[in-house]
Amino acid sequence: MSNGHVNLSIEKGIATVTFHHPQSNSLPGALLRELAATIEKAGEDADARVIVLCSEGEKAFCAGASFDELVAISNVEDGTAFFSGFAGVINAMRKAPKFVIARVQGKAVGGGVGLASAADYTLAHDSASVKLSELAVGIGPFVVGPAVERKIGTSAYAQLTIHATGWQDATWAREKGLYAEVFSSHEALDTAVRSLAQTLSESSPMAMAALKKVLWQGTDHWDQLLLERAAMSGRLVLSEFTRNAIARFKAGSR
């Protein structure tokens, strides 16, 4: 339990990928690698026609990077490897030949916003506020940035990036295009996710794969781009500013 887990279930054409970590569904490196591998597996499974990505619990959807792991990074190589984990998950979602529906039941921070953005269709609870807090700790949302900017546009992305300590609520996220729909109850959210997933599971796999390729046109360079961005974060995480900022965050709250 202390390290979290990722589960995959496939039923009636719907692959459900669920992740959990006891620290607000944050994502340490091992969990990121497992999550990417599981999404790839679901994408390759002939029994799955659509992928649903969700996290456990009714509070935070994903608190982003594991601060415990960030403070343990001691060199650029390890830092780059850690942030490459987020690159792996985003690229797995991007390259899966099936639509990915994200169920966002609560707050999303940093990498969590990246996951919500990399999904093809994101449905959320009205408590699902978003924040890109990286600049506040001396880094920057470099790896998740391309996915977020693609989804909500440069202006809204800059707003999230620069106002790194401020939350934007689910209504704002829906208006900017991050969320397709927002629901006032978890029951209504689950119903909407099931309904859309069922509809897609009964649709043409070839047509959906072709449409996904069209929707993600122009992102083939992300394999290299996101690794370059990971190296940027890997260098910055070693700075004294970032060390001190993370220590303050850990002593308080995210």
pLDDT digits over 24-46, tens only?
A: 999 999 999 999 999 999 999 99
For 75-111, what is each residue's pLDDT tens digit?
A: 999 999 999 999 999 999 999 999 999 999 999 999 9
**What is the mean predicted confidence (pLDDT) over 123-145?**
96
Backbone angles phi, psi at 23, to 5 degrees: -95, 75
Q: Which residue has the higher pLDDT, 130 or 2?
A: 130
For 51-77, what is each residue's pLDDT tens digit?
A: 999 999 989 999 998 888 888 899 999
The model's pTM: 0.95
Q: Which sequence spans correspond to the domains of the chain? A: 5-185
Confidence of residue 2 (pLDDT cuts 50, 70, 90): low
Reply yes or no on whether the pLDDT at 21 is more than 50: yes
Q: Give the whole-angstrom CA distance, residue 182 versus residue 105.
A: 10
Return the structure tokens found at 158: 């800059």
Beta bridge partners of 17: 8, 53
**What is the mean predicted confidence (pLDDT) over 176-188?**
98
* % residues pLDDT > 70 (the chain): 98
Reply yes or no on whether the pLDDT at 147 is more than 80: yes
Reply yes or no on whether the pLDDT at 254 is more than 60: no
- Residue 26 identity (one-letter amino acid): S
The predicted pLDDT at position 246 comes to 81
Query: For the chain, what's the residue count?
Result: 254
Q: Give the whole-angstrom CA distance, residue 73 versus residue 65.
A: 12
User: For helices 145-152 and 111-118, what crossing angle results, to 10°?
Assistant: 50
Domain 5-185, second-level architecture = Alpha-Beta Complex (3.90)
For 199-212, what is each residue's pLDDT tens digit?
A: 999 999 999 999 99
The predicted pLDDT at position 245 comes to 87
Q: How far is CA 66 from CA 16, 30, 90, 114, 249, in A?
A: 23, 11, 17, 15, 12
